[in-house]
Amino acid sequence: MRDAWKVVGIILLGLFVLVVGIPLVGAAIGLGFAVLGTIIGLAILLIKLAVVLAIGYLVLAGVRAVLR
């Protein structure tokens, strides 16, 4: 049981380092959240474009089905 607590502690310490350490190092070298925000913004834009294309395709398929 004691070994299991050691493993849990190591995992929690690793998560802490990832959550706290990486943004601090990124800020220290000048990479803020702007790059991450840009990537997320592009992903959201791509999802919106895919939704618009899917809705357009469904409307087109519906019109085709009605006209047949």
Rounded to two decimals, the pTM is 0.48
Q: Are 47 and 58 in a shared domain?
A: yes
Q: Are 26 and 37 in a shared domain?
A: no
Q: What is the pLDDT of residues 1-59, one digit of tens each?
A: 778 888 888 888 888 887 777 777 777 666 666 666 777 788 889 999 999 999 999 99
Q: Are 38 and 62 in a shared domain?
A: yes
Q: Are 20 and 5 in a shared domain?
A: yes
Give the range of the structural domain holding residue 14, as residue numbers without chain letter: 1-31
Number of domains in the chain: 2
Q: Are 36 and 66 in a shared domain?
A: yes
Q: Which of 22, 1, 20 is nearest to 9 (CA)?
A: 1
The answer to whether 22 and 16 have CB atoms below 8 angstroms apart is no
Q: Are 23 and 50 in a shared domain?
A: no
